[in-house]
Every structure is written in structure tokens, then in C-alpha cells.
């Protein structure tokens, strides 16, 4: 298999993933990077050094030349470079899927990734803001047009637990439903869900909608726009939120997913309804939502330690 044929195979596989599984652009970019690492075993990755990993692989090898011991050696090398277990697991998943796809088309006789597991990494709990910190973040008075827009964005993140890509993709056409108390978004794999919108977020969005014509281009469909009148990019939303957190003196670097985590944790603490939180977050599996029960327990344990007379530690 020539280098061009390998590149064509990877592109065809990614195209099929995009069309049939409707993976997000972000996931597809990650998969492309992972498959470029695989091509690096064959000397085809321009940005990754694979010296010492190609032992036993002749030049111009095809995918079928890679064996399980090559995969294990490469996984060990990735781990020593500091790549975590979850990232390596995603990489192995991309490789395994490609080999399965190649095998179905008679382009590979074996799948060297089968049976190879990623190193285990300790599971960290998502970082969340406390209710007081969330209030401090959102209680700033907008001093200009961009701050009015930002306030609407941040309130909507915290009110409805939207993902960054979901919020950035909102169009002006959703405004009527949003102001009525709900927002429809397309989540992962183009799954539609409807999420409630709280009163504070509705007020902030209404204020922004009244000011939006001052900034938006005449033909722009996006609800949130930047200084040039076009759809506001995800990176700029991240930077504006990070800036707000610093200005409000919050101890941690605030990012959009932190507001999503905070939304889930605070709703679960108040309601105890795990299934409802799962629906609002758009999680396919309840297991993804259960991480917030651990956060809830941490909160309860902290309250217990502070309140119970027999729980307090004696001074040493």
C-alpha cells in the first residue's frame, strides 16, 4: 500500500464516520490526529517523531504490516510522553475502528489493536463553581454592548447546561422559543433535545436581542455575533468567559464546560433527580451523569464535617 493509498483510506474512513455516525467536527479532528499517529508507525506522520517505534517494520509498509507488539510499544511511548489513559483510549478506539473498516473491505487481514488496553488513569471529578461563585460570576453589570452579549451567553450556559458548540450554533430563529422558556439544541451525533431556560437567562437574552442589530450583519443568522457582525466563534466565547472569571476574582480558570458542570451539580443537589439531569445534559448513558452524584456527596460530606459535633477533628 502506497503512502497516497494510506492517506486515501484514512480520509474515506473519516468521511464515512462523518456521514453515517454524524460525529462532531471536534471529534473528527481528534480522530484524524489519532490516525496520523498510526501512520507515523509507517513513517507517514509529519508532526510526530516515531523513532524507535518502527522496529521490524520495512519502509513503505501497509497497515497490515503493523502487529500487536508494535501497538503496545507505541502505547507505552505515548504514556511516557504524558498522554493520559483517556486520551490513549480514544486513540486506540480510532485505530481499532479503522482496522475494522479496512478488514470489511479486504484491505487488512487482522486487527492488531484488538485486546490492547490503555493505561488506567485516576478519574478526576469535574471542576464546578459553588453557587456563590456562580452568582459572583453572573452579577457583573454590563458596561457596554459586548458585555451585554457576554452576560446573555454566560447566563444561558449556567441556566441550561449547554455545550460550547451547542451555544455557538444557536440561530436567531430560536429566539421566540428561548424567550418563552426553552431552547432546542442539536447535541452529539445530531441528537435533538429541549432544555428549560431560567428567568435570569431569558432577561439577559432579551436585553441582548434588543441590542443585537447594532452589531450583527444584515444577513447573519447567528444569535450571538462578534465585533465584525458574524457568528461568534467558540474560542472567543472561551476567552471572554475566562476574562470575566478573572475580573470577578474567581479562584479557578472558568471555562464553558465548568458552567455546564456547575449547572448539573447544582440542579442535582436541589432536586436529586438524576434522570432529569441526564435528559437536560443530553447524556446517552446514565453513567456519564452519575459523576455528579460524587460531587453531590462531596458537598454533603463537607456540610456534615462542619455541622456534626462528633465529626469535627480535634486539634493536634
Residues involved in catalysis: 163, 188, 257, 260, 283, 292
Rg of the chain in Å (alpha carbons): 24
Burial of 72-81, coded b for 16+ CB within 10 Å and e otherwise, reads: ebbbeebbee
Q: Tell me the C-alpha distance between 149 and 25, whole Å.
A: 25
Rounded distance between C-alpha atoms, residue 108 and residue 131, angstroms:
54
Q: Is 136 buried (19+), middle (13-18) or exposed (0-12) by CB count in 10 A?
A: middle
Q: Is 176 helix (H, G, I), strand (E, B) or coil?
A: helix
Place of cell 507505552: 76
In whole angstroms, what is the distance from residue 39 CA to residue 150 CA? 42
- Biggest distance spanned by C-alpha atoms of the chain: 73
Beta bridge partners of 117: none
Q: Which three cell numbers stand for residue 265?
A: 451539580
Amino acid at each position: 500500500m502506497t503512502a497516497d493509498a494510506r492517506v486515501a483510506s484514512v480520509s474515506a474512513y473519516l468521511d464515512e464516520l462523518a456521514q453515517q455516525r454524524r460525529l462532531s467536527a471536534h471529534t473528527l479532528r481528534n480522530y484524524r490526529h489519532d490516525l496520523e499517529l498510526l501512520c507515523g508507525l509507517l513513517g507517514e506522520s509529519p508532526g510526530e517523531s516515531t523513532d524507535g517505534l518502527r522496529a521490524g517494520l520495512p519502509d513503505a509498509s501497509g497497515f497490515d504490516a503493523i502487529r500487536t507488539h508494535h501497538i503496545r510499544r507505541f502505547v507505552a511511548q505515548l504514556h511516557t510522553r504524558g498522554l493520559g489513559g483517556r486520551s490513549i483510549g480514544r486513540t486506540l478506539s480510532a485505530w481499532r475502528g479503522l482496522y475494522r473498516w479496512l478488514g470489511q473491505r479486504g484491505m487488512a487481514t487482522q486487527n492488531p489493536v484488538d485486546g490492547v488496553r490503555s493505561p488506567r488513569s485516576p478519574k478526576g471529578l469535574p471542576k464546578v463553581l459553588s453557587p456563590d461563585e456562580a452568582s459572583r460570576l453572573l452579577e457583573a453589570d454590563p458596561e457596554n454592548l459586548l458585555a451585554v452579549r457576554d452576560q446573555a451567553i454566560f447566563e444561558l450556559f449556567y441556566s441550561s447546561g449547554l455545550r460550547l458548540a451547542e451555544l455557538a450554533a444557536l440561530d436567531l430563529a430560536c429566539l421566540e422559543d428561548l424567550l418563552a422558556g426553552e431552547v432546542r439544541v442539536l447535541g452529539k451525533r445530531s441528537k435533538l433535545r429541549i432544555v428549560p431556560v431560567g428567568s435570569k437567562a431569558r432577561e439577559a437574552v432579551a436585553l441582548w436581542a434588543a441590542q443585537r442589530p447594532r452589531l450583527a450583519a444584515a444577513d447573519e443568522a447567528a444569535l450571538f455575533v462578534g465585533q465584525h457582525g458574524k457568528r461568534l466563534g467558540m474560542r472567543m466565547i472561551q476567552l471572554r468567559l475566562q476574562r470575566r472569571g478573572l475580573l470577578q476574582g474567581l479562584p479557578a480558570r472558568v471555562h464553558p464546560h465548568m458552567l455546564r458542570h456547575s449547572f448539573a451539580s447544582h440542579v442535582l443537589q436541589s432536586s436529586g433527580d438524576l434522570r432529569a439531569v441526564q435528559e437536560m445534559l443530553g447524556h446517552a448513558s446514565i453513567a456519564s451523569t452519575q459523576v455528579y452524584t460524587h460531587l453531590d456527596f462531596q458537598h454533603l460530606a463537607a456540610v456534615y464535617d462542619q455541622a456534626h459535633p462528633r465529626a469535627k477533628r480535634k486539634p493536634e
